[in-house]
Amino acid sequence: MLQVQKARITRSKLTLPCKGVLELSNYVLVIDTNKKPCNPVHPGTARKLLNDGQAAVFRRYPFTIILKTVSLKPVKPIQIKIDPGSKTTGLALVQNGKVIFGAELTHRGLAIKASLESRNMKRRGRRSRHTRYRQPRFLNRRRRSYWLAPSLQHRVETTLTIVNRLIKFALLTGISQELVRFDLQQLENPEISGIEYQQGELLGYEVREYLLNKWDRKCTYCEAENIALQIEHIHAIAKGGTNKISNLCLACDKCNKKKGTQDIKVFLAKKPELIKKILSQAKRPLKDATAVNSTRWALFNALKATGLPVSTSSGGLTKFNRTRMKLPKTHWLDAACVGKIEGVLVLITKPLLIKATGHGTRQMCGTNKFGFPTRHRTNKQIHFGFQTGDIIKAVVTSGKKIGAYTGRVATRSSGSFNISTVKDKVQGVSHKYCKTIHKKDGYSYL
């Protein structure tokens, strides 16, 4: 059975499409006139329903149509699979072993962290100047036991937002979550789960995936990329080294053989700066993995609150499944490979790219880098029926900017808008040529 599915996967053009081959986007989500989820349909079927007047567009992202009648067809259950990441989270909808929808959600945790640090520095600067400002407060704000830093809590809430939207438009019967990116306890103590784990099919997958991320998929000694890398002991086993994760790195075949059992200080005697960098990075924990592991239980509990059964697995199993089925490395395909599966048939090649942009700022007074006020904004956010963050389509019929533009709009009270398209930014487009296709919701789509 598995061999048949492998053959079908090969024919689905999962590799990068050749020139002239049309990329198949996600299946279209369908709801009936009572807003109850129906079976997702092929984009061609959805186009026919729209052209025949049997349905109308309900939402652009994710693309959803609403039927003008009540559907009596039985709805097949769908499983949503999630591959949480520090910067990007992959999502996939799987129905009867077929991937019919994929999405990649890009978080803005780093932007939130930078914004909080900037605000903190400006507050300290104002206090040190002894200007009219509130006094610093200490020990009067207690944190809850389940508190997470805003940059981490953001990852949980944005993922939950997308899941809740998909629940409205598809009959989801279960959630599969990659609970841990890396089994950190297993890496520190190989005996923690017993000998069966070590000798099973997952042997080495947790370690390899961790090292690939920690050392940026490069050779530690020559920084060569896009080549086969081997697991290397910084301090050789023959010289008293161990198999702990802090003593492992990645090396190409040439460097691995050249180093042999030499001490790293002897092997890199002419490169003292590289020695210092390698030794410090070897002890440094993986930042992205730590962020994912910090939010794993918060996300698990949030998903459980939806009322759907939640199953979990590890990142090593995800990579094992993806490697076994010879699928390319992407976030949404990683999500499709989460959990115990016999095989998967991918029917699409182009996922929905979602990027968290936020809902703007409540700050009425803008400041320079020293914290002094430089600009003020009006409390009016909607101009001529448009709001900054709306996705619009502008068809300009006259002037220097003749053409059609689709993208995120930045509004002005003058009525001259800026549109950020996929390729560039178009400035000075009149509101008269603009038409809203998706209202602002804190995300951009591609």
Q: Are 83 and 134 in contact (CB under 8 A)?
A: no
Give the domain 365-445 fold.
SH3 type barrels. (2.30.30)
Per-residue pLDDT of 146-173, as tens digits, reads: 889 999 999 999 999 999 999 999 999 9
Question: Which is it for the CA torsion 137, 138, 139, 142, positive or negative?
Answer: positive
Q: Which stretch of 313-322, 324-333, 343-352, 399-408 has the lowest confidence by average pLDDT?
A: 313-322
- Sheet with 403-410, edge to edge strand ranges: 425-430, 416-420, 403-410, 391-396, 434-438
Sorting pLDDT into bands at 50, 70 and 90, what band is 49?
Answer: very high
Residues 90, 82 contacting (CB under 8 angstroms): yes
Read off the pLDDT band of 365 (50, 70, 90).
confident
Numbered ranges of CATH 1.10.30 in the chain: 189-285
Contacting residues for 302 by C-beta, under 8 A, at least 6 apart: 156, 157, 159, 160
* Contact call for residues 183 and 316 (beta carbons, < 8 A): yes
Q: Does domain 189-285 have CATH number 3.30.1120?
A: no
Per-residue pLDDT for 201 more than 50?
no
Provide, rounded to the nearest whole percent, the portion of the chain with pLDDT above 90: 51
Max Cα distance, the chain (Å): 77
| Distance in angstroms (rounded) separating the CA atoms of residues 427 and 433 | 13
Strands (E), 266-411: 310-314, 345-346, 352-356, 365-367, 373-376, 382-383, 386-387, 391-396, 403-410
Assess whether pLDDT exceeds 70 at residue 11: no
Would the pLDDT of 1 be above 70?
A: no
| Confidence tier at 317 by pLDDT (50, 70, 90) | confident
Residue 2's pLDDT is what? 32
pLDDT class of 245 with cuts at 50, 70, 90:
confident
Q: What is the mean pLDDT of residues 373-402?
A: 89
Return d(Cα 311, Cα 122) in angstroms, integer.
44
Per-residue pLDDT tens for 62-98? 999 999 999 889 999 999 999 998 899 999 999 999 9
- Asked if residue 406 has pLDDT above 70, the reply is yes
* CATH 3.30.420.40 domain span(s) along the chain: 2-108+151-182+288-356
Provide the whole-model pTM: 0.75
Instruction: Please give the residue that has the higher pLDDT: either 30 or 315.
Output: 30
- Say if residue 133's pLDDT is above 90: no
Among 85-89, 122-126, 197-201, the range with the most confident prediction by mean pLDDT is 85-89
The Cα 96–Cα 79 span in angstroms is 9
Other Cβ atoms less than 10 A from the Cβ of 58: the count is: 15
User: Higher model confidence: residue 2 or residue 410?
Assistant: 410
pLDDT over threshold 50, residue 240? yes
The model's confidence at residue 17, banded by pLDDT at 50, 70 and 90, is very low
Q: Which two tokens stand for residue 371?
A: 């914290």
Q: What is the location of CATH 2.30.30 in the chain?
A: 365-445
The H or E element spanning position 266 is helix 264-267
Helix axes 109-128, 150-169, angle to 10 degrees: 140
Pick the CATH number of 2-108+151-182+288-356 from 3.90.1150.10, 3.30.70.270, 3.30.200.20, 3.30.420.40: 3.30.420.40
Cα–Cα distance for residue pair 407/151, rounded to 1 Å: 27
The C-alpha atoms of residue 25 and residue 56 are separated, in whole angstroms, by 19
Look over the chain and give the mean of its residue pLDDT values, rounded to a whole number. 84
pLDDT at position 4 is 34
Q: Based on the number of CB atoms within 10 Å of its own CB, is 320 exposed (0-12), middle (13-18) or buried (19 or more)? A: buried
Residues 393 and 406: their CA atoms lie apart, in Å, by 4
Locus of tokens 């000694």 = 221
Could you tell me the two tokens for 148? Answer: 């997470």
